Amino acid sequence: MANSKEQFGSRFAAIAALAGSAIGLGCIWRFPYMVGENGGAVYIIIYVIATLLLCIPIFFAEFIIGRRSGANCLGAMRKLAPGTPWKWLGVLCTLTPMIILCYYSVVGGWSITYLLKSFNLGYPASFAAFSASTWAPLCAFVVYLGLTCLIVVGGIKKGIAAFTKVSIPLLFALIVFLSVYSITLKGSSAGVDYLFRPDWSKVDAHVVINALGQGFYSLSLGMGIIVTYASYISKKDDMVVAGLGTAGFTLFFALLAGLAIMPAVFAAGIEPASGPGLIFDSLPFIFTSLSSTYPVLGTVVAVLFFFSVSIAALTSSISLVEVPVAWLIEEKGFRRGRAVLLVFVIGLIGGVPCALNTGIFQSFDLLCCNVLLPVGGLLCVLFVGWKMKREDVWDEFTNGGSLKWNVRLFGFVRFVLSYLAPVAILAVFVSNFI
Ligand code: PFF
């Protein structure tokens, strides 16, 4: 199918955008505390295996839908399965990122608040008190959502690609610096051990399921982002390279984020399983105590850390905004500026209650992670594994048979998509309710 719309422009730009979507709060905020709550190294090992065996093939399924159709999620279903109930998959994949955007931007707002507070190390007394207050989280949320929308207004090449091409390499440089710094702290080796020395007695069904869920979350699967971004990728590009590149960068970044955080947490004698407040409570404590001995260094490290968190969040939330924006432009004839404005307004309406009430925030998070993402992912793999014609899937996966490696991999990928992935996703889905 012809694809004459705007594209990312180069393979590097495409991988930077995909990796930018993947590398976000999931890696730098969620991953470290999930590692802490799920037994350390064993969780990481299962997360890596789940990503390689299962999440990358699911990534291919979404990529195939997006690039084959060259359209947004609803347009993709209209083109690939016209007049069928599959259109509801398109509806789901367009709505889910919109719902995620509402509460994700609240966490984005927390990050920019902590970034600003880092300049004088004047952090709130506790993260719980800060997140339960009214004005500061609310204003930060609005500013963060506005920043996200400003980038998306710039378009695919001049907005999203331009931003991610610069920020992803910068983010890697910052996180490498922070992890080297963290592992050189006195008493940090217990944190490194915790990350890399597996204690197999800690493995149980919940650890496995949480690790798989993390793979899903961090690769931005099941929410239309890969479908939408793949529609901006050249027909000549190799999706295996894109998938392995994205997953490789994401895994590497998550490990570096773990290395930047856990050794420092152990060095400061803080409990690693302290939940979602881990980076917002523990790290300010570490930076403040560091600055009592080295004032400049403490501030510099604090600013760099929360700058990294904010940039990682932004490169992901722009992908959340782009999904409904693509639908409004392609299906409803909106101009980009107006489409982004409408998404901004809806994001405000949905996000204000999340910023003001932690119960609503948690309900949005639970609804998305435990229901909408697994259902969206499951339907995508079923669509490619069972509904699309085998020849079409083969043609898209192998670029018409020209990519020899992909020809060899095809049988395995199709097996995973038809059998293994649906069963695994169902297991994660059902386990959330047991
Ligand atoms: N992959 C991104 C992250 O890990 O932060 C984006 C994202 C995925 C946001 C899933 C929210 C979500 F539920």
Q: Could you read off the pLDDT of 74-98 as tens digits, one per residue?
A: 999 999 999 999 999 999 999 999 9
Give me the amino acid identity at 261.
Answer: I
Q: Is 4 helix (H, G, I), strand (E, B) or coil?
A: coil
The Cα-based distances of 343 to 109, 120, 148 in angstroms read 17, 34, 11
Q: Assign 383 a pLDDT band (cuts: 50, 70, 90).
A: very high
| Cα-to-centroid distance, 214 and ligand 1 (Å) | 9
Q: Is 24 in the pocket of ligand 1 (CB under 6 A)?
A: yes
Distance (Å, whole) CA 20 – CA 183: 25
Q: How far apart are CA 97 and CA 148, in angstroms?
A: 14
Confidence of residue 1 (pLDDT cuts 50, 70, 90): very low
Question: CB–CB of 343/325 below 8 Å?
Answer: yes
Residue 288 CA neighbour count, 13 Å, CB half: 14
User: 320 CA distance to ligand 1 centroid (A)?
Assistant: 9
Mean pLDDT of the chain: 94
Q: Tell me the CB-side half-sphere exposure of residue 56, using CA atoms within 13 A.
A: 25
Angle between helices 87-118 and 73-80 (to 10 degrees): 160
CB 103 within 8 A of CB 364: yes
Which alpha helices (DSSP H) does 239-372 contain, by range? 239-267, 283-293, 295-332, 336-356, 358-366
Question: Got the DSSP string for 211-267?
Answer: HHHHHHHHTT-SSSHHHHHHTTS-TTS-HHHHHHHHHHHHHHHHHHHHHHHHHHHHH
The answer to whether the CB of 100 is under 6 A from ligand 1 is yes
Give residue 47's pLDDT: 95
Average pLDDT of the segment spanning 175-200: 92
Ligand 1 closest atom vs CA 365: 13
CA distance 248 to 51: 9
Residue 339 has pLDDT above 70, yes or no: yes
Whether residue 3 is predicted with pLDDT greater than 80 in this model: the reply is: no
Q: Hey, is 362 helix, strand or coil?
A: helix
Neighbours of 157 (CB within 10 A): 16
Ligand 1, atom 10, lies closest to the CA of 217
Instruction: Give the pair of three-digit tokens for residue 335.
Output: 């101009």
Contact by Cβ (8 Å): 137, 130: yes
For residue 131 the two structure tokens come to: 């997140």
Residue pair 389/341 in contact (Cβ under 8 Å)? The answer is no
What is the number of the ligand 1 atom nearest to the C-alpha of 219? 1
- For the cut 50, the answer to whether the pLDDT of residue 341 exceeds it is yes
Residue 370 contacts by C-beta under 8 Å, 6 or more apart in sequence? 429, 432, 433
CATH T-level assignment (fold) for domain 11-377+418-431: Hydantoin permease (1.10.4160)
- In sign, the C-alpha dihedral spanning 18, 95, 324, 4 is positive
Q: Flag whether pLDDT at 11 surpasses 70.
A: yes
Measured between alpha carbons, how far is 1 from 235 in angstroms, rounded to an integer?
10
Beta carbon of 218 within 6 Å of any ligand 1 atom: yes
CA of 289 to the centre of ligand 1 (A): 31
Q: Report the alpha-carbon distance of residue 162 to residue 164 in Å, rounded.
A: 6
* Residue 369 near ligand 1, beta carbon < 6 Å: yes
Side chain identity at 110, as an amino acid letter? W
Q: How far is the CA of 316 from the centre of ligand 1 (A)?
A: 7
Which letter does DSSP use for residue 30 in this model? I
Question: What is the per-residue pLDDT for 2?
Answer: 43
> How do residues 122-162 score in pLDDT, each as one tens digit?
999 899 999 989 999 999 999 999 999 999 999 999 999 99
Contact between 238 and 399 (Cβ < 8 Å): yes
Q: What is the pLDDT of residue 4?
A: 61
Is 316 close to ligand 1, i.e. is its CB under 6 Å away? yes
Domain boundaries, the chain: 11-377+418-431
Give every CB contact of residue 334 below 8 A, 6+ residues apart in sequence.
328, 342
Q: What mean pLDDT comes out for the span 276-292?
A: 88
Helix (H, G, I), strand (E, B) or coil at 357: coil
Give the number of C-alpha atoms closer than 13 A to the C-alpha of residue 308, restricted to the C-beta side. 28
Interior/surface letters 240-276, b for 16+ CB within 10 angstroms, e for the rest: bebbebbbebbbbbbbbbbbbbbbbbbbbebebebeb
195 DSSP assignment? H
Closest CA to 259 of 27, 74, 26: 27
- pTM of the predicted model as reported, rounded to 2 decimal places: 0.94
Instruction: Tell me if 105 sits within 8 A of 145, measured CB to CB.
Output: yes
